[in-house]
Chains A and B, each alone.
Chain A
Amino acid sequence: MTRLFDKTFWGLTIGLVALFALNFLLEEWMRSIGLQSLSRGCVAIGLLVLWRTGLVSFGHALFFGFGAYTVAMLQIIGVNDIILLLIGGCATAGLLALVLGFLLRQYRAIFFALLNMAFSMILYGVLAKVEALGSTDGIGINQVSFFGFVPSDDSYRPTLFIFAVIFAYIAAVGSHWYLKSTLGLMTMAVRENEIRVEYLGYSAEKAIHIKYVLSGVLAGMGGVIMALTIGHVDPDSMVYWTVSGDFVFITILAGTGNVGATFIGALVYELLRTYAFEFAPEIWQLILGGSLLLIIMFLPDGLWSIRSEWRNRRALAAAKSGDAPAGE
């Protein structure tokens, strides 16, 4: 816990290197699955941060879509480098989260979830009507340059993949370190007991606001990666409420114990979705929904909960065998 360079950090770094190497072996359809997992994984990390605070958003497609459409809008005005598009997407999504955060930080539980959903559906309603952005048909995204470098058509997707991996890695490590900071552990504190947080001398609402902005930036990043991956943005696949539902799905699938697990969850989701759609197109939603139900029923907080429960019992047993001062 003390060190920044802990198991999770090295795990993520090994993942980074492994993906670099894999990039040469992957077939294009696998790379697409990888890119989409990285994109949704970024959003799910943002949801993980909120989830640990006890908040669930049923509307993070708002920031995801905002990031994705920022790419489209920047391209319209001629900006076409990946780093500028990424910064633009994260910044606009983060700014939106900052503004909405002043309001949302006052809400908890189902009200927080639904207010997020309402905002995402407002954006959906707007985008579905804006002709300049293609309304319901959406708008195409052009190939981009990478710090000025324009790869050949053959190497475009592998290059995009490398960059997406790096962005996701930065997001994951940054979030992991954040969660170990004082502010990061305040996620838990706010979820468990806001009164205590106040009486320790910090504003629970402010803590929530910071987390909300962070989750907005991460969702914006996911949106940018997705827009570049698919090469197209449209309201139904970027902003509709079912898109938000998918993100929460991944968060549950992965559990909230570990940032790295989120990407594995995103990958599992992507594979589940792809294969279910491929081999059982009539029942792919059934398979998806069924797996979600199984997880909710049998692995409520992911594998992590089993681990901490076990640790707890051991510690209590150790304390009881010692000399307890004010025990029962």
Chain B
Amino acid sequence: MEGNKGGVVFVVIVLIMVAIGFSLMLNPPTVKSFSLPAVPSKGVKHYENITIYADALGWDYGHGTLNPTISIANNTVVNFTVIEEDGQPHTLTVNPGSAESSYQDTLLSTSQITTIPGHVSTTQAYFNTIGVFTYWCTVHPETMVGLIYVNATVNTTVPSAHYANYSNKTLALSENNLSANGVLYPTIALPTSTLLNLTIKDASSSNYTLKISSGSKVDTSNYTTVINETNRSATGSIPFNQTGQYVYWNSNNTSRFGIIYIYSALVNTSLYADVNGWNFTKSSGVNPTITISAGTLINFTLINEDNLTHVLEINSGNKENSNTSAAVASVNSTTNKSQGYYLFMSTGNYTYWDLYHPSTAVGIVEVTNSSSSSASVSYIIGSESDSGNYISLLGIQTRDELYP
């Protein structure tokens, strides 16, 4: 009988399968490589220093916010400083996207972040792609994971044509506080579509970072860094395109902050505080209804009429609610006049009332839909015949004039 090629066929199959197995194993799906761009030698506009503590229970465990969200401008070089906390192996790994992925770049490996507690390791990373990145530890991916937002909003140079308004502010830095003309953390009110150029004069030698977050209080997990200063003076630009409330603070002192209001319309109004009701003796009638459009910032001037203590509280809804209300301004026997802002963001009714005389001094602010542009603002307070008497309208400001 002739020879049989069965053995040859089997050997060929074995060799093919071994080759397939090799090619499969040597290209496991887990070694697709991603790498951040190399740090350019020049032309970098932003530098950010970020120090994080490596702990198996989470980044920065026991050092403030757990797994802090890092928000940086596009084209930023981040100087990471990683401090070993718990004697366990850790990596600093970054990948694009909002979750861990094997398509990653390990900036610091377990051999670089040694297991000696207190060991400091540093690295640089250059982010030139707008979007969200994840930073994590490949050894502890369940606990040590946080986000990096690379924002387009804070940019190096913004064409002037894009912004209707400009505002130049100068703040002084002293004792880790920010002030202007002796006023600590002054409130800044700006119309929408404004590019705010902030200049910081630093009297001390402390290094600081000026940060801005949206909302009504300091948010250390989601912020934009405007200025990251290691010298005596620095300038940063930030565009404000959306109506809303923002806060700015000095990174060395997160307990104090200033407020930035971005409004679509600004109304100045005076309220006369009386135990019998707002504007009790005035021709507008008692507790006048104030009608404005959404996005309007009202600059209240509170004037004391009866030398009692009055606190102007405002909350949304048709009746007073001390749980949600915010104190805007207050007067008493010694302070007869004070001033405060309230930004009416959403349509609907708000209630303005006196914390000490809620049964008598309570009125409604009607916020209508701002269907047209911010230039058209309707306001009716009291009777029209008395307009201009105690309610002054400064109109829509295209340039910031409230703050020197």
Whether chains A and B associate is: no
